[in-house]
């Protein structure tokens, strides 16, 4: 199903050690509105949508996994040279004690990822509206991360991710219209 290219979807340049910024990025890594939740949600929903839009869910789910890889790269680069004292000052002391410099799927508050973040109703139109909302929440979160980022390379990558959320939202909106047209079309038997 996938072909893995050994490069990021978009380059990630990190110029400073900044555990606090890394902590904030964890919201998009393992939070309710983050990339892991989105990728799993869309991959799961693709089994209960009509064939006319299944490819959209598959494509966007796949891209969300690449966004997750970009975030992991940013978080790792922002923390890899941090001392235990710097991590503790940034509120990542408990994370360091439990995981060292390894990444773990949790949000900025340290709450571990849970499958309850994944929404799926089984109604294609309802699910697509949920997906539109998820993309808009991710877009808003990326904007807030951009607003607090002081690393030009991270900010650049975050802008790329924010714009991709806009594209995903538009593709889901188009999919809703396709399904509404199919639903409302006169059926002659």
- Confirm whether 2 is domain-assigned: no
Q: How confident is the model at residue 2 (pLDDT cuts 50, 70, 90)?
A: confident
Highest mean pLDDT: which range of 76-85, 92-101, 176-185: 76-85
- Confirm whether 183 is domain-assigned: yes
What does the chain look like in DSSP terms, one character per residue?
Answer: -----SS-SS-----S--HHHHHHHHHHHHSTTSHHHHHHHHHHHGGGS-HHHHHHHHHHHHHHHHHHHHHHHHHHHHHTT--HHHHHHTT-HHHHHHHTT---SB-TTSPBP-GGG----S-HHHHHHHHHHHHHHHHHHHHHHHHH---HHHHHHHHHHHHHHHHHHHHHHHHHHHHHHHHHS----
Which among 136, 104, 81 has a CA at the least distance from the CA of 31? 104
Q: Is 177 annotated as a binding residue?
A: no
- Confirm whether 7 is domain-assigned: no
Rounded to an integer, the average pLDDT of 4-27 is 95
Instruction: Write down the pTM of the prediction.
Output: 0.93
- Confirm whether 10 is domain-assigned: no
CATH code of 155's domain: 1.20.1260.10
Structure token digits, residue 184: 């409302």
pLDDT at 184: 84
Q: Is 81 annotated as a binding residue?
A: no
In terms of residue numbers, what domain contains 172? 19-188
- Mean pLDDT (the chain) is 94
Residues 6+ apart with CB under 8 A from 189: none
Q: Is 131 annotated as a binding residue?
A: no
- Confirm whether 3 is domain-assigned: no
- Say whether pLDDT at 189 is over 80: no
Per-residue pLDDT tens digits for 168-182: 999 999 999 999 998
- Confirm whether 57 is domain-assigned: yes
Q: Is 165 annotated as a binding residue?
A: no
Rounded to an integer, the average pLDDT of 110-136 is 95
- Confirm whether 176 is domain-assigned: yes
Q: How confident is the model at residue 80 (pLDDT cuts 50, 70, 90)?
A: very high
Q: Is 163 annotated as a binding residue?
A: no
* Domain count of the fold of the chain: 1
Per-residue pLDDT tens digits for 58-72: 999 999 999 999 999
Q: Is 101 annotated as a binding residue?
A: no
- Confirm whether 163 is domain-assigned: yes
């Amino acid at each position: 199903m996938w072909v893995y290219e050994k490069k990021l979807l978009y380059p990630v340049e990190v110029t400073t050690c900044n555990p606090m910024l890394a902590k904030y990025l964890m919201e998009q890594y393992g939070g309710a509105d983050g990339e892991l939740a989105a990728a799993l949600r869309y991959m799961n929903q693709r089994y209960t949508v009509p064939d006319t839009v299944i490819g959209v869910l598959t494509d966007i789910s796949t891209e969300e996994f690449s966004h997750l890889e970009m975030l992991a790269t940013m978080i790792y680069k922002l923390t890899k040279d941090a001392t235990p004292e710097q991590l503790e000052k940034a509120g990542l002391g408990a994370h360091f004690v439990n995981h060292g410099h390894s990444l773990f799927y949790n949000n900025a508050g340290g709450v571990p990822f849970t499958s309850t973040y994944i929404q799926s109703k089984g109604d294609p139109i309802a699910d697509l509206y949920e997906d539109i909302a998820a993309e808009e929440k991710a877009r808003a979160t990326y904007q807030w991360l951009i607003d607090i980022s002081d690393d030009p390379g991270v900010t650049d990558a975050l802008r790329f991710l924010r714009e991709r959320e806009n594209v995903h939202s538009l593709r889901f909106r188009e999919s809703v219209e396709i399904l509404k047209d199919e639903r409302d079309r006169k059926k002659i038997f």
